[in-house]
Each structure stands twice: as C-alpha cells, then as structure tokens.
Amino acid sequence: MALAGYWIDRSEVTNAMFEQFTADTHFVTGAERSGASAVNGYSEAVPAADWRHPQGLTSSISGLDEHPVVQLNWYAAQAYCQWVGGQLPSEAQWEKAARGSDGRLFPWGNEMPKGVFLNAADANLPVPWAKNDQDDGHRYTSPVGNYPAGASPYGVLDLAGNAWEWTRSLYRDYPYKLDDGRELSADPLQTDLVTMRGGCWYDDYGSVRATLRYGGKADQSTDGTGFRCVLP
C-alpha cells in the first residue's frame, strides 16, 4: 500500500513539550478532570493520577522533562498535535515508520529485543513477565531517544517500548483498507476503540513487536500511553 509523503516526530512528545502546550492553551486533560487514571498496566483508576503525577499523587514529573508525557487520552493527544499544526499518525503511517519497506518485526530489524534497543519490562520492573537478564536502566519511562540502537530504518526512535502511542485510526480488522472508514476525520466517540501501537515500559518483550495492535477507548489514559505527531 503506497502512502503519500509525511513527516513524523523522531521521538514521542515529552513532558516539557506538553507543559508548553498547557501553558499556552490552559488545556485540562481528562485525567485531571476526573481526578483519577489507570496505573501500572491495570484498569483500576488511581486517585490523583494524571500527566503531572503519572503513578498517583506521590509521584511527580520533576526532573523528567525529556520523558514521554503519559496519562493522556486520545483527545488530549490530538489537541496537542493540532496545536503544533499536525495530527496523530494514521496506523499505516505509524507502521511504515516502524517497519520500513522490508516488513521488519521490530524497528531495528528482526533481532529479538534487548535492553540496548528499548525500554520494556526488564530487571528494573518487579513483575512476573519481566526479562530479568536485561537492564534498560529504567523502571518506568525513559528519556526519549535514549536507545539509538533501536531506531527504525528512517531514524525514528522509541517506536518499541517506553509508551504506547495513539493513532488516528479506529481499531478495525486487517487487511488494512484506507477507504473503510477507519481513518478518523473527526473526533472518535468515547465508546470507539482507537488503534494504539508500540508497547510500553511495563510490557513483556513479546508485546513490543511492530506488528502488534491494541484498541483503546478514546477517553482512557494510563501511565504507559503517550503519542507523537505527523505533519503532511
């Protein structure tokens, strides 16, 4: 499937970048309005969890300016992209950036993941699915661009691990069809499932494949969900 040319952010949008957006627009995220959000890969909402407090009230983004902003639902992510003159990538654009023209399994190629390629569940995360023989240096998110060895063929970073990324495509079955209504031209309904790609810091190494897809509700947010933008 041929795609028109586009520019995609080299890395995920950071806390510092989103801070500038909120300072300029006074935007309030869904998690801030509701007063709670999901943490550590679980669906139960934690009080006071939002983008400034990713794991709840006692957590902070102090010193994490260059980490990906998380705890944002689809509407917040798209609002930021529109503010910079872009939009969220379609699923096809995201996958092209991650897999190149050779259909690779991971952004860096077909070699299995290890700590120098990405931030995922490893020895720093005390969960049963962690790969304890790997050490990416971080329990939660890592600074964007921290794993240059994991770059895609186009030099795009963090397309595997660190934070799941919203797209502007509804979660529909493959094969991918551009004309089946999956590409959002307006905001999704809160009940819609929107495609997310890439996996995050709490996922096992099998869940960061560039082929893996997940459908998330547009109004959901977690401490493992971020985004990047595209420009036409």
> pLDDT for 94-113, tens place per residue?
999 999 999 999 999 999 99
Q: For the chain, what are the domain ranges?
A: 1-232
Q: Homologous superfamily of 1-232 in CATH? A: paralog of FGE (formylglycine-generating enzyme) (3.90.1580.10)
2 vs 17, higher pLDDT: 17
Given a cut of 90, is residue 53 above it in pLDDT? yes
List Cβ<8 Å contacts ≥24 apart for 60-66: 61/15, 64/15, 64/141, 65/14, 65/15, 65/16, 65/19, 66/14, 66/15, 66/16, 66/143, 66/144, 66/145
Q: Which amino acid is at 143?
A: P
Q: Which residues, in sequence order, are CB contacts of 82 under 8 Å at separation 6+?
A: none
Work out the pLDDT band at 141, boundaries 50, 70, 90.
Answer: very high
Two tokens at 199? 């996996």
Question: What percent of the chain has a predicted confidence (pLDDT) above 70?
Answer: 99
Given a cut of 80, is residue 1 above it in pLDDT? no
Mean pLDDT of the 66-89 span = 98
Given a cut of 90, is residue 191 above it in pLDDT? no
Given a cut of 90, is residue 2 above it in pLDDT? no
Predicted local confidence at residue 176, as pLDDT: 73
Given a cut of 90, is residue 211 above it in pLDDT? yes
C-alpha to C-alpha distance for 65 and 223, rounded to whole angstroms: 15
Instruction: For the chain, give the mean pLDDT.
Output: 94
Two tokens at 86? 């872009």
The CA R_g of the chain, rounded to the nearest whole Å, is: 16
C-alpha to C-alpha distance for 155 and 152, rounded to whole angstroms: 5
Predicted local confidence at residue 174, as pLDDT: 77
227 vs 186, higher pLDDT: 227
C-alpha to C-alpha distance for 112 and 20, rounded to whole angstroms: 37
